[in-house]
Structure 1
Amino acid sequence: MTGMTFGSQLRQHRLEAGQSLADLACQVHVHRTHVHHVETGKRVPSRELAEAADQALGADGRLVQAFDEEDQQRRQQAATRRTLAASLGASRKLVELADLELDELHAGVEETAVDYLGTAPGPMLHRADALRRDALSRLRDYRHGPHERSDLYVAAGRLSGILAYSALDLGDADAALEHARAAGRCAQHAGDTELLMWVRGTQSLIARFNGDYGIALDYVRDGLQYVGDVPGTGEARLLCGEVQCLANLGDSRAANRMLHMAEQARERARRPDSLAGLFEFSETKQRYYAASSLIWLNGGDDARTAAAEAQAAIGAWERMPVEKRSLDDERLCRIYLATAHVQLGEVEAAAEAMTPVLALPAEAQISWINKRAHRVGSMLAAPRYRRSPAAVDLREAIGALG
């Protein structure tokens, strides 16, 4: 029963014991409607109910264990929500301060940017928020040297950017936008064009998450005005964001033309990104963007190109050391590969691509994963797949995700 919710396990044990909802409700001293709501996930059970049901159904402690595991997850999620709410207050203060002065930030900014690639968003949210709280404390106390202001603006902006990514991965686009706005304000105060281009790309990403492709294009084009003698891969990242917009708007020709332009932009980049991890745009990430864009078109050659780009990106990540792999992007890329296979009618290949994603624990299923996986499930509901057992199985497996 690994991976099953407490409610699902309760229902399975009840059915195996041959008991109706009313039978079990009578033994645990609650109304049968309450038992039904617990089984379907509409109500959170108490531990007393779990213990009583475990004894009534002869579950030998398995139901109590399932309750304890879910209760721990609920507590962790509640702590993350509290941190997210508190971090928003800090972003608002950064935006509202007209004369922002920053002192030094903790040396962990760079480490956090790299660790983000392989760590769940919840812990990253906590770490970035703690670092930025220290920055705000130093701000209020004016604990900084006269020549440190610009560098510290950049550090605060990067931390705000990490918080934006964390919030978006947790499914809160509104919070992500506020954090990104704070990051942009810091970049402007510091006069750091590289960071400002990165922020515009992130704001475009948030708009794309919301399905606001016109707004997303505006962010991209605002960012592109800063292209010039700027280090790093910001231009390629912005152009790949434009590719995603164009593909979602159904313009295959323009999307493929922009992909070519993004490749040329990468070739023109002569200096590396100033910070690694979340703030760099690797060739592997660029392939990921190509795959994530072309799957929104009408299949055919676009789907075949998307599958090839996704497979190349996955292979590159698999060859990297664990600390350099972007695990969430790698998992999403498997969904994009599966999407392309479904568009091409290759359901078995889609199921194979999705297998590692379907095995993820609940805490690793970030909002992007659920959103994109359920699109695959919707595609499998098309009439052409109604008589395909493999399609039915894959659709049901996707439906079990959070």
Structure 2
Amino acid sequence: MTFPELLRTLRMDAGMSLAGLAQHVHYDRTSLHHFETGRRPAPLEVAEAADEALQADGRLVAQWQAEDLERREAAAAHRTRAAALAMSRDLTALADLDIAELQEGVAVTAVDYLASPPGPMMDRAHTLRGEAFERIRSGHHRAQDRSDLYVAAGRLSGVLSYALLDMGDADEALEHATAAGRCAEFAGDAELAAWVAGTKSLIARFQGDYGRALEYVRDGYQWVGHGQGTGEARLRCGEAQCLANLGNSRAANAALDGAEKARERIRRPDTLEGLFGFSRAKQSYYAGSSLIWLQGGHDAERAQRQALEAIDLWQAGPVEERSLDDERLAHIYLATARVQLDDVEGAADALSAVLSLPVEDQISWIVKRMDRVAGMLSAPRYAGNQTAAETVEAINALAA
């Protein structure tokens, strides 16, 4: 219950009118009405006076303090986002970045991102990039470090891009990705350029623009080859997601097969792991998340196998490769495939781990994908199915 709701409830329970309470809090009746309806935030002095007048035993003050903390945290996050976005625009616009030195902390941030909420990662990446940006502006660097710091600034921009996308803001995410692409261009780093192309495609897919997403992927192929890293495998999986969403089952499966062959050709590992790597588990996850957009049947069977494989690999693999958000999404994709295969009980079982998550772990992708499962389980064919009804109710409660 919010502070306005609690204030009104306690007043009504006490049988006190607005005018009566207004006398106790030393504000007029209209102001008090605004506090109760949430039109205006109440000052702390109002919460304290009302708490005493209504004999709330500190409940009103505690609720006011909790909501005030939330408001201050939201304001701080907004300031960080605004400052980070301004810096990305500056990085994009600079014609010639004077890079100072390779930033410490980039590799750690890339790994930590896989198991951390996007908000704190946004703060850390913005702080690290601020140090790089200051050196860029001042020109204090050794010539041999120039390319390295281009890459560091680009990777930190990439972390910001992912964080903003996970927070649901695709437009800001694209600006950070564009900054990362410019840095890759200035550094002459093909590996980072391929990663940026894949990330831009991911952003376009988030927005539902699969034609543009496919263009980003195909443009990225110019940066891959020679067995360097997982860039080609990631791009081909992104292509499969686009093609599946466009309804082309044969081409989507062929792209996934191409990703398998690309992984077999890898001779040198990725320069950086974590967010900038593309593990075997991640590849299986991409396959599962692609094929659920088709018409079921063999596609759903393969999606189920691949999602299960991704979950098993993450749970059994190294901690630094375990992407918790993607692992949770893999459960949703597994559930989606099982609904397509008419396995409602199996779908509910797959979702159980996600439905118990706290609010702060509900990234935008989870909300979007769970909503689709709820829609599928609400179809007339499942009318009267108690498991389907209970699962839909649980998803709706989580979204609320």
TM-score (norm 2): 0.88
Q: Is the 8 A contact 1:194 1:234 kept in 2?
A: yes
Q: How does 1:64-213 map to 2 (within 5 A)?
A: 65=62, 68-213=65-210
Q: Is the 8 A contact 1:21 1:35 kept in 2?
A: no
Q: State the match for 1:384 in structure 2.
A: 381
Q: How does 1:190-339 map to 2 (within 5 A)?
A: 190-229=187-226, 231-339=228-336
C-alpha distance after superposition, 1:7-37 (max 9, x if no partner): 89959x96xx9x7999897886678997996
Q: Is the 8 A contact 2:243 2:251 kept in 1?
A: yes
SS of the aligned residue for 1:206 comes to helix
C-alpha distance after superposition, 1:157-214 (max 9, x if no partner): 1111111111111111111111101101111111111110000000000000000100
C-alpha distance after superposition, 1:325-370 (max 9, x if no partner): 1111111111111111222222222222222222222221111111
Counterparts of 1:21 and 1:210, CA distance in 2: 50
Q: How does 1:333-372 map to 2 (within 5 A)?
A: 333-372=330-369
Q: Is the 8 A contact 2:122 2:159 kept in 1?
A: yes
Counterparts of 2:60 and 2:72, CA distance in 1: 18
State the Cα distance separating 1:105 from its structure 2 match.
4.0
Fraction of identical pairs, as percent: 58
Equivalenced residue count is 392
State the Cα distance separating 1:73 from its structure 2 match.
3.5
Q: Is the 8 A contact 1:232 1:270 kept in 2?
A: yes
Counterparts of 2:50 and 2:294, CA distance in 1: 50
Counterparts of 2:63 and 2:357, CA distance in 1: 17
C-alpha distance after superposition, 1:93-116 (max 9, x if no partner): 111111111101431111111111
SS of the aligned residue for 1:103 comes to coil
State the Cα distance separating 1:291 from its structure 2 match.
0.9
State the one-letter code of the partner of 2:368. Answer: K
Counterparts of 1:273 and 1:24, CA distance in 2: 68
Q: Is the 8 A contact 2:5 2:36 kept in 1?
A: no
Classify 1:384/1:61 alpha carbon distance in 2 versus 1 (closer, same or farther; 3 Å): farther
Q: Is the 8 A contact 2:335 2:347 kept in 1?
A: yes
Rg larger in structure:
2
SS of the aligned residue for 1:329 comes to helix
Counterparts of 1:225 and 1:67, CA distance in 2: 56
State the one-letter code of the partner of 2:200. Answer: Q
Q: State the match for 2:25 in structure 1.
A: none
Q: State the match for 1:374 in structure 2.
A: 371
State the Cα distance separating 1:70 from its structure 2 match.
4.6
C-alpha distance after superposition, 1:199-233 (max 9, x if no partner): 00000000000001000000000001222225200
Classify 1:58/1:258 alpha carbon distance in 2 versus 1 (closer, same or farther; 3 Å): farther
Classify 1:54/1:187 alpha carbon distance in 2 versus 1 (closer, same or farther; 3 Å): same
Counterparts of 2:21 and 2:353, CA distance in 1: 38
Counterparts of 1:388 and 1:55, CA distance in 2: 51
Q: Is the 8 A contact 1:6 1:66 kept in 2?
A: yes
Counterparts of 2:17 and 2:355, CA distance in 1: 32
Counterparts of 2:390 and 2:49, CA distance in 1: 34
Counterparts of 2:310 and 2:397, CA distance in 1: 27
Structure 2 unaligned runs (5+)?
23-28
Counterparts of 2:283 and 2:313, CA distance in 1: 12
Q: Is the 8 A contact 1:113 1:162 kept in 2?
A: yes
State the Cα distance separating 1:60 from its structure 2 match.
6.1
Q: Is the 8 A contact 2:3 2:64 kept in 1?
A: no
State the one-letter code of the partner of 1:116. Answer: Y
Structure 1 unaligned runs (5+)?
none
Q: Is the 8 A contact 2:240 2:255 kept in 1?
A: yes
Shifted more, 59-68 versus 274-283: the winner is 59-68
Classify 1:315/1:363 alpha carbon distance in 2 versus 1 (closer, same or farther; 3 Å): same
C-alpha distance after superposition, 1:269-297 (max 9, x if no partner): 11100001000000000011011111111
State the one-letter code of the partner of 1:228. Answer: G
